[in-house]
Amino acid sequence: MKRTITHLADGRELIYFDRRDDADRSAVDHRPLDPRPLASELRFDPLTEEWVAIASHRQTRTFLPPADECPLCPSSEGRASEIPASDYDVVVFENRFPSFSTNLGTYPEGSRPGVGRCEVVCFTSDHDSSFSRLSDEQVGLVMEAWADRTAELSGIEGVEQVFCFENRGEEIGITLPHPHGQIYGYPYVTPRTRRHLAAAAKNPTLFADVLRAERAGPRVVAANELWTAFVPHAARWPFEVHIYPHRQVPDLPALTQEERAAFAPLYTSVLRAFDRLFDVRMPYISAWHQAPVRQGRDLAYLHLELFSVRRAPGKLKYLAGSESAMGAFVNDVPPETAADLLRSQVDL
């Protein structure tokens, strides 16, 4: 793998990840870009003990442009995009409209700067592709990028947790359809992770116990020697799959090359099963749960959470009163039924 660091016209960092060592990454970004926005403002909610980022500059971010104006496609003659090169394998760059950054301003008393970093990960230069259609080799390159960026962002002063994720589908709320994900370097440990670690503190083998029970139960969707994909016993979403490595590791950089290689065919087969369920491109969120940078690393267990808001043909699971206001989920699809349906579509 070849890793090349360059910069965009406004100073943002861009990193090419290439399979070939002779890839030419000399193209330069000459666009007249506005100055980079200041970091968001963090406000603390004492009732929930959670931080909220106020990032008004994100209101102007690009929203569902036509394909010939996609900022994530390679640049071409007469049209410059966020990627100066005319082609690429995998690209990571700092988000132009970040929720968190190191470009600090002044902040009101009672709040603090949203220090951190937000990056975009382009999985392929093919605008019409999807993660499920990537080759095992290409998925491996994406994993190298995830691991590289997790390590790099973990070293930024003020970053407490690194989160790699993908939003897919307009039903989820995506603003760019090109196959891509994002990486957030948070200036705090997220609420979900804090709850995970608090539960694991009461039982240090909690994650391993959950995996052991699921591997022996009826909700396994797909598995190989190193990974298992299953619908959790208390799934919140109509179609929700968790994918665990069989070895407990804190984060993506801790995976071996063998584990990374084994993940690719399993994961893409589950994604294709999602699409086959109703013969549509399923909207989904794919989220890597990793250990925080400085706490709970001995308790955390790296795993991927994949879920869709689609519950049936032509029907979505909306987060209405119970879920949005109270955080109390009601699932319309029994997890065992979801597992049966997904398992029948897996092509592993």
- Residue ranges for the known binding site for Zn(2+) are 70, 73, 127, 178
| Residue 239 CB partners (closer than 8 Å, separation 6+) | 231, 274, 277, 282, 307, 308, 310, 311, 333, 338, 341, 342
Comparing C-alpha atoms, which of 101, 103, 104, 105 is closest to residue 116? 101
Cα–Cα distance for residue pair 49/187, rounded to 1 Å: 14
Q: Dump strand ranges (E) for 62-151.
A: 90-94, 112-113, 117-122
Tell me which of 7, 30, 57, 180 is the catalytic residue: 180
> Strand, helix or coil at 276?
helix
**Catalytic residue check, 180:** yes
Cα–Cα distance for residue pair 294/174, rounded to 1 Å: 31
Cα–Cα distance for residue pair 99/220, rounded to 1 Å: 36
Take residue 64 and report the two structure tokens written for it.
Answer: 């569902």
Residues with active-site annotation: 180
